[in-house]
Structure 1
Amino acid sequence: MITTILLTFGVLFVAELGDKSQLMALTFALRYHWATVLSAITVASFAVNLIAVGVGHFLGAALPTTVIALFAAATLLIVGLFTLRETLQPETGEDTEKAAPQAKTRNAFLVVLSAFLLAELGDRTMFAAMALATKNGWLGVWIGSSLGMVAAGGLAILIGVTVGKHIPERFIAICSGLLFLYFAAMTLLDAYAEHLGTVVIALASAVLPALAGLVIVLLRRRENTTVATGGIDSGSIPGTRPAPEHTA
């Protein structure tokens, strides 16, 4: 059993490196407290791998991955939009003094748990756990695969916390929101347009966050223009007239 745990741990840890779920863990660590993110990822990892070994070892059936991907994409899209919505709020002096955001919300654990769980269901790492469970003991595969995913997520969280200490909160919020939109698009394309190939999917997924980023730039530019002019058009104030033009 120890051999199975070590083998599965290594396979899943390597498979998670650079994977979408590890990048999600890093992104969540930029927004929420590291302990909340790690605990949610741990619960999600043991849950999704229990399903994987159950399906692979006992049932030998496949999950409706396209339907799951739809829910996962919707969750990531909502999280991304709400994150970007926060960046459009007026910036105060107190906010600018904070360098690293460790945002605390009541629903942070549930947000990370649901997003990570849905993202992992039907992912390549889940199928790897299924394959290992068909030839090895399900308990060892379950423990090893879960620990491998948690270790990879923990590494991403460590990077996120370290980087987040040196980056302004609003910039991190914008990057996090755009990344969530990117993951949402990638999840949908992975499920419904797998024939396009990895490179094409990665490039096409960037269209949604690029459009959102353009909208944010335009809105922020409009906001800065309004602030610079005091938000008042002198020609619109009753009893005032524009200054006359001087001609030579």
Structure 2
Amino acid sequence: MEAFLVSAGVVALAEIGDKTQLLAFILAAKFRKPIPIVLGILVATLLNHAFAGAIGSWVITLLRPEILSWVLGLLFIGMAIWTLIPDRFDETDATLAQYGVFVTTLVAFFLAEMGDKTQIATIALAAQYQLFFAVVAGTTLGMMIANVPAVHLGEHMANRIPVRLVHGIAAAIFAIIGVATLLGAGERLGF
């Protein structure tokens, strides 16, 4: 349960103000069809995070636990720094519109998540917790928590959330997890 909840919380916070949330705003404003947009986000996230979770699960078979601990700790600290850097949305990401709302959303979100901080976080969390399904379900829920309101409420919602504060909280969580991992807290706490 911890892997699921931490994964959901970390990704939901990291996603606030992310380019995919901006993409959700733009798609919602352009198409005004929330159901296919939300379904596209869900399917793209499940596919992308399942891939990332599989990589995280595979990595633990390659590295000794002490090396993996250092890699994960540094990765989480790197995620903390990356979370503080604002994202920009590339308008060319919205050029897939000719394929329909669902396919446009699915492809745009899947590609936007490739190498994104939430995908990297999914890899690290899957390696850390070694619970593929809990992590993928949690990170997917975190994406939906952040992006469904963006679809339904549009720009109005984003202007009311202090994005810098949310990014700071997400960065602090990543940093704490990273330092705790480097200090071996995970082993002592059972993850």
TM-score normalised to the size of structure 2? Answer: 0.60
Unaligned runs of 5+ in 2: 63-89, 158-191
Separation of aligned partners in 2, 1:78 and 1:124: 18
Q: Which has the larger radius of gyration?
A: 1
Matches within 5 A, 1:61-210: 77=92, 79-80=94-95, 107-136=100-129, 137-160=131-154
The one-letter amino acid of 2:140's match is S
In 1, Cα distance between equivalents of 2:13 and 2:45: 15
Distance 1:52 1:27 in 2: 26
User: Which string of whole-angstrom CA distances, capped at 9 and with x for unpartnered residues, describes residues 35-73 of structure 1?
Assistant: 110010000111110011011111469xxxxxxxxxxxx
Task: Give the equivalent residue in structure 1 for 2:12.
Answer: 13
What SS class does the counterpart of residue 7 from structure 2 fall into?
A: helix
Q: Distance in 2 between matches of 1:146 and 1:158?
A: 18
Quote the residue 2:85 is aligned against. none
- Structure 1 residue 58 and structure 2 residue 58: aligned? yes
Normalized per residue, which structure has more helix? 2
**Preserved CA contact (<8 Å) 1:34 1:161:** no
Give the conservation status (yes or no) of the 8 Å contact 2:27–2:94: no
Give the structure 2 partner of residue 23 of structure 1. Answer: 22
> Which gives a bigger RCO, structure 1 or 2 (Cα 8 Å, sep 6+)?
2
Residue in 1 that maps onto 2:184: none
The one-letter code sitting in structure 2 at the alignment partner of 1:79 is A
Cα distance change of structure 1 residues 20 and 161 upon mapping to structure 2, 3 Å threshold: closer
Whole-angstrom CA distance in 1 between matches of 2:155 and 2:34 = 7
Q: How many pairs align?
A: 127
Give the TM-score taking structure 1 as reference length.
0.47
Tell me, yes or no, if the aligned pair for 1:76 and 1:115 is still in contact at 8 Å: no
